Amino acid sequence: MTSAELERMWQRAARKIRSVEITDGPGPLPNGIFDQAPRVIATLEDGDTVELFSFYANERSFTPAEFVGLTVDEGRRLKFRTSGGTHV
């Protein structure tokens, strides 16, 4: 990987999140068993959208406001936050 490629990757990861949509999770069982897990989709300051991660709604919960102003990397790390607000 060249230094120019690394620089482009860093610049993409450093962009700030402007807004977030958290998709609906699976419906009630048994019909919802094959539905997708909720996804966190961020709109960045340059207008691009990126999926940060998906999660199990019965184990985690997030609000869009938690992501606004963070970089893409910081937003992705929220998935691993413990319930006390610290990162694993």
Range of the domain at 24: 3-80
pLDDT band at 88 (very low <50, low <70, confident <90, very high): very low
User: What pTM, to 2 d.p., does this model score?
Assistant: 0.74
- pLDDT for res 69: 97
Name the residue with higher pLDDT: 58 or 18. 18
Domain count, the chain: 1
What digits encode the pLDDT tens for the residues 75-87? 999 999 876 554 4
Asked whether residue 86 is domain-assigned, the answer is no
Asked whether residue 74 is domain-assigned, the answer is yes
**SS3 string of the chain?**
CCHHHHHHHHHHHHCEEEEEEECCCCCCCCHHHHCCCCEEEEEECCCCEEEEEECCCCCCCCCHHHCCCCEHHHHHHHHHECCCCCEC
What digits encode the pLDDT tens for the residues 23-75? 987 666 666 566 788 999 999 999 999 999 999 888 889 999 999 999 999 99
